[in-house]
Amino acid sequence: ADARTIALTVNGTRRHVTVEPRTTLVEALRDTLGLTGTKIGCNQGQCGACTVLMGGTRVNSCLTLAVMAEGTEIVTVEGLADPTGDLHPMQAAFAENDAFQCGYCTPGQILSAIACIEEGHANDAVEIREYMSGNLCRCGAYPNIVAAIEQVRD
Ligand code: FES
């Protein structure tokens, strides 16, 4: 009941998804569009595993209703590498700096890291840590994540 179809752009491609009023963006991405790179950790806005870009701004997709994404441009981790398979510079920097261990938080970390630089919050390590504080890493890769961001910034 009350399902409706919305149009949005995901990783540069126009998509249509049929969602319920309560369907979250991460559910629409993972379950309807099959884009399982975006992870669900806490499902309540506290871990950042579900971070995506919506209209260029990072959002927790577990807290964002799918209907709120109507007409917007969404970027997920699947949209970062170029079509030839070359990694996005931030993906390459995460790999070079060992900025992950188990990798579960990594897609969200990378989207936040990209937003950190684009929004001008990567001026020093303290600022980076503050901006990235909503993206938790149980493995404690924080110093290497900061190093990866600094590498891309420079
Ligand atoms: Fe969305 Fe944790 S799953 S913030």
Say whether domain 89-153 belongs to CATH 3.40.50.720. Answer: no
Domain residue spans of the chain:
4-77, 89-153
- Single-letter amino acid, residue 30: R
For residue 80, what pLDDT is reported? 98
Query: 18: CA distance to ligand 1 center in Å?
Result: 22
Question: Which tokens in the block code for residue 117?
Answer: 């630089």
Say whether domain 4-77 belongs to CATH 3.40.50.300. Answer: no
CA distance 10 to 13: 5
Instruction: Give whole-number Cα distances, 69 to 11, 23, 90, in Å.
Output: 13, 11, 25
Please give the chain's pLDDT, 154 residues, in tens. Answer: 699 999 999 999 999 999 999 999 999 999 999 999 999 999 999 999 999 999 999 999 999 999 999 999 999 999 999 989 899 999 999 999 999 999 999 999 999 999 999 999 999 999 999 999 999 999 999 999 999 999 999 9
For residue 83, what pLDDT is reported? 87
Ligand 1 pocket: which of 30, 36, 60, 136 to mutate (most atoms within 8 A of CB): 60
Q: Which residues line ligand 1 (CB under 6 A)?
A: 40-43, 45-50, 60, 62
Smallest CA separation from ligand 1 atom 4, residue: 45
Distant-in-sequence, close-in-space partners of 78: CB < 8 Å, separation ≥ 6? 11, 35, 37
Question: Which tokens in the block code for residue 81?
Answer: 């590498």
Ligand 1 pocket: which of 46, 64, 76, 104 to mutate (most atoms within 8 A of CB): 46
Residue 46 CA, closest ligand 1 atom number: 4
Intrachain domains 4-77 and 89-153 with the same fold? no
